[in-house]
Structure 1
Amino acid sequence: MFTTILTARPGALDPALAHSLRNAWGGGEVRWLAPDEAAEFDIATRPGNLAETWEGVQTMDVDLNVLPAEGRRKKMLLADMDSTMIEQECLDELADHVGVGDRVKAITARAMNGELDFEEAIDARVALLEGQPDSIIETVLESRITLMPGGPALLATMKANGAHAALVSGGFTAFTDAVARRLGFDEHRANTLLAKDGVLTGRVARPVLGREAKVEALEEITARLGLAPDDVLAVGDGANDLGMLGRAGLGVALHAKPAVQAACPVRVNFCDLTALLYLQGYAKDAFVAA
């Protein structure tokens, strides 16, 4: 059995669409997880026209995902940070703050689309920060970094239901530490910006945490907790997230780059992070307040 899940921004999911799709696919009863926002129904087999139907509902600002009905609720959340748990790219914000934003953003875009090697790209971007006071990190955290909508509810609800939460980022520990504490992650991993005498050196500590390190984190943490990769919900938006998205039992491309969407079958483009709760079968009235 499979479950079809439709999600959209609050008030944007037309009940007629949910019932029409259920009828077309011979599904079971439509269950509303949130009125006019999230609905699901069961089907016996994965539809052959899923790709075409997905494209059609995207034009209505609706996300469509079909998942195995069993094992939807996950025991671990493994999340990227930049443009996933926060609305920004932390390195881009640092660069913009010191006046080299355009140069860094161009490199970031190419790296996130998979056009550049991640390690080379991070070295090239961080080099542009050489000589800046390390106090800019705290300034950027306080003035430029905002949480992705739905993140607090996602963390609070999954943790209240016994899940472990890990933040794994190609960004920097100075940011993941703050974001992890604010949202309630159990642990975090990221890169370290090197500084000497209060000044950024323009270098990143080795080894650089990139795509393979995120997969290693998934495997190490699940082994430590006695879980399996199938127990994990992973979420990210960039090319360096594809390894963990493919390894996890449920890998979600959130507002992702085109190359990432093409490689990831579970995609969320219109709903916020609460879509990850709907994908697991949580109704809105079961969400836990942060």
Structure 2
Amino acid sequence: MSFVATLVSTPTAPAVDQDLVRRASKALGQTTAETVLSPGVAADIHFEAADATAIAAAESRIRTVIGAAPVDVFVQPETDRRKRLLIADMDSTMIRQECIDELAAELGLKKKISGITERAMRGEIDFEPALRERVGLLAGLSVSAIDTVLSNRIVLMPGGRTLVQTMKANGAYCALVSGGFTHFTRSVAAMIGFDENQANTLLEENGKLTGKVAEPILGRDAKRERLEELVADKSIEFSETLAVGDGANDLAMIERAGAGVAYRAKPAVAEAADFRVDHGDLTALLYLQGYAEKDFVLS
């Protein structure tokens, strides 16, 4: 069987040099089957193995070679690399922040609410009651604070727009699914170029948040269900899907997708995912699919 090992570092600190690629290739028993996807940033190493059980062993050998270098490793079969559907989390995945924590900062409650958020994302407490508790603490906050947070606190994750625009240019459908709020997903989806967005709705009255969220709450199961609906609607296979997220409420869709990616994720998520990105930016998901930097759509 034909396999490929992809080495990726962050573009701001290239670490995939020729020596590293050579040593990783040697560890796989290869000498010439290498493809540079981006000089210093990403490279493919192609190799043959008897069956899929070789993936774990190959990855282990490469990680031994890499050691402490800031390089991500993806090992997979050569076939079906490019995906026709991307389904992505928003908070701490497509943007750097957790929106509810930034809303809490407007009330001086960021430390209290972010502690609950962290426990929920680690899977230590159930998502739905944790969301109700956090939203309850926002009661009375002016709705105008949402625009303030969007303008002053929300920063897109590097590589996210390039990821979405490149996949869309190659025929993929891109969905943003969040356990956060539609007030944010609508804007973030438009900035990045997602085809659709799904999230929870903060209830408001007389220009202020009521401290309640519309039921039913969209959490872990809702993300998986939207993935399954899109697979059916687009008449594609699960092997043609890619899901990315960082928290426990992303686990169901990550485990269901053909390629489940943990992006700078909580430990339980990183352990369960097919692939993990600890160093690269979101363009790592393009290199994972075999795109070279020259293929990127940068608009």
TM-score scaled by structure 2? 0.94
Match of 1:13 among 9, 12, 16: 16
Determine what percentage of the aligned residue pairs are the same residue.
51
In 2: Cα distance, 1:236 partner to 1:22 partner:
30
Deviations 1:82-139 (A, max 9, x none): 0111111000110112210011010011011110000011111111101111111111
Indicate the residue corresponding to 1:72 in structure 2. 81
Unaligned runs of 5+ in 2: none
- Contact persistence 2:160–2:282 (CA under 8 A): yes
Matched, 1:91 2:95: no
Unaligned runs of 5+ in 1: none
Cα distance, 1:203 vs. partner?
0.8
In 1: Cα distance, 2:65 partner to 2:24 partner:
11
Residues 114 and 282 (structure 1 numbering): CA distance in 2 closer, same or farther, change over 3 Å? Answer: same
Cα distance, 1:230 vs. partner?
1.4
Comparing 19-28 and 81-90, the one that deviates more: 19-28
Cα distance, 1:55 vs. partner?
6.5
Cα distance, 1:204 vs. partner?
0.8
Matched, 1:122 2:131: yes
- Contact persistence 2:24–2:65 (CA under 8 A): no
Q: CA RMSD for the aligned pairs?
A: 1.3
In 1: Cα distance, 2:150 partner to 2:137 partner:
19
- Contact persistence 1:57–1:63 (CA under 8 A): no
Indicate the residue corresponding to 1:208 in structure 2. 217
Comparing 154-163 and 257-266, the one that deviates more: 257-266
Residues 265 and 228 (structure 1 numbering): CA distance in 2 closer, same or farther, change over 3 Å? Answer: closer
In 2: Cα distance, 1:58 partner to 1:107 partner:
34
2:83 aligns to what SS in structure 1?
coil
Cα distance, 1:152 vs. partner?
1.2
TM-score scaled by structure 1? 0.97
Deviations 1:201-252 (A, max 9, x none): 1111011111110000001112111112211111101111111111111111
In 2: Cα distance, 1:84 partner to 1:180 partner:
13
Match of 2:200 among 191, 200, 223: 191
Spell out the pairing of 1:1-290 with structure 2 (5 A cutoff): 1-10=2-11, 11-27=14-30, 29-45=33-49, 46-47=54-55, 48=57, 50-51=59-60, 53-54=62-63, 57=66, 59-290=68-299
- Contact persistence 2:7–2:71 (CA under 8 A): yes
- Which residue identity does 2:15 align to in structure 1? A
Deviations 1:161-219 (A, max 9, x none): 11101000001001000011111111110000011111101111011111110000001
Aligned length, in residue pairs: 290
